[in-house]
Amino acid sequence: MDQLSWITVRTPLPTGPMRLAVTSQGVATVAYAGESVAGQQVGAPVCTDERRIAVVNDRLAEYFAGERRELGLPIDWRFAAGPHRTVLQRLLADVGFGRTITYGELAARSGVFDDITEPGTAARTVGQMMGANPLALLVPCHRVVAANGLGGFGGGPHGIETKKWLLTLEGVLPPTLDWNGPTG
C-alpha cells in the first residue's frame, strides 16, 4: 500500500483549511482543521507532487467558488470497508449537488440494513457512519440530514456551521446575511 502524503487546501469554511491525504490511487482521507484521521498524523509527510497539488487545489477552489458541482477527484477507499464503504458509495452515486437524503432513506437505499427490524437503528447507524466518513466533501456526508432537520456533522468544533455553509453553497439552504460564500 503506498504511503499517504498530505495537501493542505485553504477554504472559506468555518473550520478553516482542509487537509487531504493522497496516494497514487487518489484521495484516501480528508480532515477538517483540528481533526485526527484513522490514527494518521495529519499533514505529514507533505505531498511534493506539484501536479497532484494543483489538481486538488483547483478542484476545491472551483467548488468553493460555486463553479464546480462535482470534485471529480479519484478516491482511494482504503479507510472505508464493508458496510461503511457500501453506504458511502451509495451516497456518492445517488445524492448529487444540491440534493439531500435522510439517514433513514440512505440506510434503505444501501441495502446494508435489510435484516434490521428495530425502528431507527439503521438511521442511527448511518449517522454514525457519516460521522466516521474518511472522505468528507468528496463523499458528501453533509448532504445526509435528519428526518426532522439538519442532523449532526463532524468537522471539529464548527461542524454544524460547516454543514450549513456547504448546504447553502449548494442551494439547499438560503444564505443568511453573514454568509461568506460566492454571490452569484
Q: Which tens digit of pLDDT belongs to each residue from 119-144?
A: 789 999 999 999 999 999 999 999 99
CATH 1.10.10.10 for domain 82-169, yes or no, is yes
Residue 96: name the closest of 71, 129, 117, 67 by CA: 71
How is the chain split into domains, by residue range? 5-64, 82-169
* Average pLDDT, integer, range 169-178: 92
Rounded Cα distance, 94 and 129, in Å: 17
State the Cα torsion 156-80-88-29 to the nearest 10°: 50
Rounded Cα distance, 143 and 90, in Å: 12
* Backbone CA torsion sign across 146, 103, 37, 140: negative
- pLDDT for 78-102, tens place per residue? 999 999 999 999 999 999 999 999 9
- Is the pTM higher than 0.85? The answer reads yes
- How far does Cα 96 stand from its chain's mean position? 12
pLDDT attached to residue 39: 57
SS3 of residue 32 by DSSP: strand
pLDDT attached to residue 35: 62
- pLDDT for 32-55, tens place per residue? 876 666 556 666 789 999 999 999
The total number of residues written for the chain in this structure: 184
Residues noted as catalytic: 141
Query: Residue 171 — very low, low, confident or very high, per pLDDT cuts 50/70/90?
Result: very high
* 144 C-beta neighbours (distance < 10 Å), count: 27
